[in-house]
Chains A and B, each alone.
Chain A
Amino acid sequence: MVMECDAVIVGTGPAGATVAEVLTAAGWSVVMLEKGRNHLLSLEAPFGPLGHVSNDELKMHHRHFLGPDPWLEPRTFRREESDGDRIYTGDVNNLPSTVGGGGMHADGKLPRFRENDFHARSERGPMDDAELVDWPVDYDELEPYYAEAERVVGVAGDANANPFAAWRSGPYPMPPGADMFCAVLTSEAATKHGFHPYRAPSGVNSVEYDGRPACNNCGFCAYFGCPIEAKGDPVAPLRHALRTGLCDIRPESYVTDVLLDGTGRKARGVRYLDVNGDAHDVNARHVILGAGAFETPRLLLRSQIGNPDIVGRFLMYHFQTFALGIFPFRLHAHRGRAVTHLHDDPIVPDDLALAAARDAGLPWFRGGIVEHGGASHPISEAIHLPPGLEHTRLMLASPMRDRMAAFTMQGEDMPQATNRIDLDPHVVDAWGIPAGRVTYSSHRHEVECSKHWAPRLEAVLRDAGATHTFWATSPPLPEHAARRRIPNPSPISRHVMGTARMGSDPTTSVCDPWQRLHDVDNVVIADSSVFPTSTGYGPTLTIVALAIRASRALAGLDPLRSIRPSGPAA
């Protein structure tokens, strides 16, 4: 079977879905190929909900309902080459493999990056053993795309709440939603510590929006799909694209290769395997890769396109620091959107943080947003407890769930050439294709930054009323990793970035500032593979903003512009 279309899009997550909406609105025909199943929306008009996702911890969280099943799609991990071929096989940063991609699981804190994130290298200066660079696009150019992204996804937030936020051309499309009790408590304490917590901009409806209802705070949010379509996941852009009649979504279609024409400089389409394992070609004028920053480089490597010195390298996550506090009373963090407040203070270091960086022999360090949340689900709580009477006592008193408040700092990760995704030499997936392999060790920057901030966050929790506090990191600090055997040593971060970085120089980057491959320019990368740095913010709003920019340019639409409001400087 051969199919023809203007663009073939690999992946239906936030990146691919955004591109589909923009291109179909511009009159292009698109075919979307998604390796996972469809549990999101009917593919027949009027494209209503399927009702498959539910408040079911076992199914959604422990039985891989949205995929990928780590047995069908194993990934492998090692810290460095000296570890040998791998030290772990299984779930490595698995984001859902399903129509809607990681957007289904995400609980959608959607902040913008700050102005100076786009000038990381020129504003901060170099960091040893890291390839810190400036972005080839800056905030002022991206601002209208951020505004459009917030409108398309549906972001609820308060424009004046965060003193460190970048300038904005207008308000959020919706006011913020309900505040969680534990997040209010920890925010009050954080304020007393001189920090600046604010109500998180969230891709979750606080009011009815775009034909979808307001969130009812069910609490089965992070790692779940939304049973009532209140989340700003790809359901809205995919439905809009389908309604044009120009979008053909094919679930259970696993793309194996980008196909080139005789010149080797143009793609003519892609090849995919259907549910029976039969191969099909889709011919297209343009190929859009939105497979996520793990699968996109895997596909490039297999297809042998993209700058071979760079593809897969500069893999970045967020270095996660968890400060946890146990309270003498119940916090019911299972009610609400998982996280309702943030603070950015570790991104804008104070004198203490600057001194700590210098003491550690670093020129500076940058942490990341701190998420105010708690723990929510009992099976996850239970399996981490010891069996026996201790189990029942602890489940009744619930220090590790109902009485726990958590800070998660999403620390900025340094881009290092040695941190990379490549193809495992032996392990294969259920289609017989080499598994993706991660080689990853944290830079001293992240480690030192985490060690500085963790006790400061713990102190906030104590002032909020916690009677016991502790902290942990993912990946583990080097000294902890050496001490005990960890079943899965890979970072649990679901923020994956940098594996096909963009830039103006074809020798040091994979794609150009419009996200086209330098060597095959009708292939566009729409996901966070293109990020030159990780920043300390969740990636998804920036993925969507960049995808709107790149696909509008592709369709020949005028660039969006915005005006910085005058008046008192923020």
Chain B
Amino acid sequence: MPVWLTEHEHAVVAAAADRLIPPYEEHPGGAALGVADYIDGLLSAFEVDPPRIWAGGPFSGRAGGESSFDQFIELSALEELAWRTRIEGSKGMVERERNGAIIGWQQQYREGIAELGRDFLDLAPEEQDARLQQHREFKRLLYVHACEGAYAAPEYGGNRGLTGWTAIQFDGDVQPRGYTDEEVAGRA
């Protein structure tokens, strides 16, 4: 169940992510990678405490050590101001508009998804591409977030089952195991 996006919006984001990152050979597409969950997690970051902005450290547990990525780190008051402004927008609040008004990601998604059209899910893939192309700024935002969702640590909601990393032969976080000198210097 999405938290900030509606079910329909979530489905549109997933479908769009599959056009920006289409499945190919062993690489899953944006939908299967969980990009829509990642984006929903970002837009609803402040629904949880601490907010879902910075995963904890030092280790995820995937390469040894205790897992701590899932314990997110507290923000300072100023950091919260910055991230709320990015996500929620400045909404006329003085402290968020020092150097001008900001339209937040929540609004950009709500409006951007609406502009892709109610029928977006019913369109043929080429027509979906054409719609996305008509809304270039939103397409760019979606693409950057899709890349993050595909290849960031899974604690942020995407990269489902680590399939983003395995597809591209990337090991992801490797502490505290690291690499041996031979793995660094050798050819394979």
Q: When the two chains form their complex, are residues A53 and B152 in contact, meaning their CB atoms are under 8 A apart?
A: no
Given contacts A336-B179, A396-B25, contact A55 B54 (CB under 8 A): no
A553 within 8 A of B: no
Min C-beta distance of A467 to chain B, whole Å: 17
B186, closest chain A residue (CB): A181
B-binding residues in A (CB < 8 A): 37, 49, 51-59, 62-63, 65, 69, 71-72, 74, 89, 177-181, 184, 215-220, 227-228, 252, 275-276, 329-330, 332, 334-336, 378-379, 382-383, 387-389, 391-393, 395-396, 398, 402, 427-428, 430, 432
CA distance A379 to B165 in the complex (A): 10
Q: When the two chains form their complex, are residues A387 and B59 in contact, meaning their CB atoms are under 8 A apart?
A: no
Q: When the two chains form their complex, are residues B143 and A387 in contact, meaning their CB atoms are under 8 A apart?
A: yes
CA distance A383 to B141 in the complex (A): 10
CA distance A192 to B116 in the complex (A): 56
Q: When the two chains form their complex, are residues B175 and A72 in contact, meaning their CB atoms are under 8 A apart?
A: no
B160 within 8 A of A: no
A-B contact count (CB 8 A): 180
Given contacts A71-B85, A336-B179, A402-B169, contact A391 B55 (CB under 8 A): no
Q: How many residues belonging to B are interface residues under a CB distance threshold of 8 Å?
A: 65
Complex interface bits, B47-75 against A, C-beta within 8 A gives 1, otherwise 0: 00000011111111000000011000100
Q: Which residues of B have CB within 8 Å of A252?
A: 76
B82 within 8 A of A: yes
B173 within 8 A of A: yes
Q: When the two chains form their complex, are residues A379 and B98 in contact, meaning their CB atoms are under 8 A apart?
A: no
Q: When the two chains form their complex, are residues A392 and B22 in contact, meaning their CB atoms are under 8 A apart?
A: yes
B115 within 8 A of A: no
Given contacts A184-B185, A227-B175, contact A392 B152 (CB under 8 A): no
Contact of B55 among A56, A228, A330, A387 (CB under 8 A): A56
B161 within 8 A of A: no
Q: When the two chains form their complex, are residues A54 and B57 in contact, meaning their CB atoms are under 8 A apart?
A: yes
Q: When the two chains form their complex, are residues A217 and B178 in contact, meaning their CB atoms are under 8 A apart?
A: yes
Which one of A52, A216, A396, A402 has the highest number of Cβ atoms from chain B below 10 Å of its Cβ?
A216
B150 within 8 A of A: yes
B13 within 8 A of A: no
Q: When the two chains form their complex, are residues A378 and B139 in contact, meaning their CB atoms are under 8 A apart?
A: no
Q: When the two chains form their complex, are residues B20 and A388 in contact, meaning their CB atoms are under 8 A apart?
A: yes
Q: When the two chains form their complex, are residues A227 and B152 in contact, meaning their CB atoms are under 8 A apart?
A: no
Q: When the two chains form their complex, are residues A379 and B152 in contact, meaning their CB atoms are under 8 A apart?
A: yes
Q: When the two chains form their complex, are residues A227 and B99 in contact, meaning their CB atoms are under 8 A apart?
A: no
Complex interface bits, B168-188 against A, C-beta within 8 A gives 1, otherwise 0: 111111111111110111110
Q: When the two chains form their complex, are residues B143 and A218 in contact, meaning their CB atoms are under 8 A apart?
A: no
Which one of B139, B172, B179, B183 has the highest number of Cβ atoms from chain A below 10 Å of its Cβ?
B179
Q: Which residues of A have CB within 8 Å of B184?
A: 178-181, 217, 335-336
Given contacts A71-B82, A395-B168, A396-B168, contact A59 B55 (CB under 8 A): yes
Given contacts A227-B57, A378-B165, contact A74 B173 (CB under 8 A): no
